[in-house]
Amino acid sequence: MKYCVVITTAHPDYKRPYTSTYVRFYDNLEEAKSYIKQTKTEYYREFGVIDEDDVNEENIDDYDDRAYDIIYSDSYMDNEPFDGSIYDIQTGNNISLDDKYQK
């Protein structure tokens, strides 16, 4: 079984709000979960939700409420600041995933 990770991040701005979406495929569920935590940690550091030494990837989910308040302090968007989802996918013999997205 393979796993598809879809991450959507909000970038609120008064004039040009936008979202970024990242899609990756993994063979291992633990690697997929680790990618989400790593990406969330980097995103929260970028927006000043956490400092370099404040947090590790294991407790990053504890900062979700704080992130919402900080990221949307000046501007607002309808989506969550960070959304990471994992989907189980099955590939048959005739389907291959592009190596560029394979981890």
pLDDT bucket at 65, cuts 50 / 70 / 90 = confident
Q: Percentages helix, strand, coil for the chain, rounded to the nearest 5?
A: 35, 25, 40
pLDDT bucket at 94, cuts 50 / 70 / 90 = low
Q: 8-26 pLDDT, tens per residue?
A: 999 888 788 889 999 999 9
- Of all residues in the chain, the percent with pLDDT exceeding 90 is 40
Whole-model pTM?
A: 0.79
Give the model's pLDDT for residue 100: 52
CA dist 49 and 61 (Å) reads 12
Q: How far is CA 33 from the centre of its chain?
A: 10
**Residue 103 in contact with residue 35, Cβ under 8 Å?**
yes
Domain boundaries, the chain: 2-92
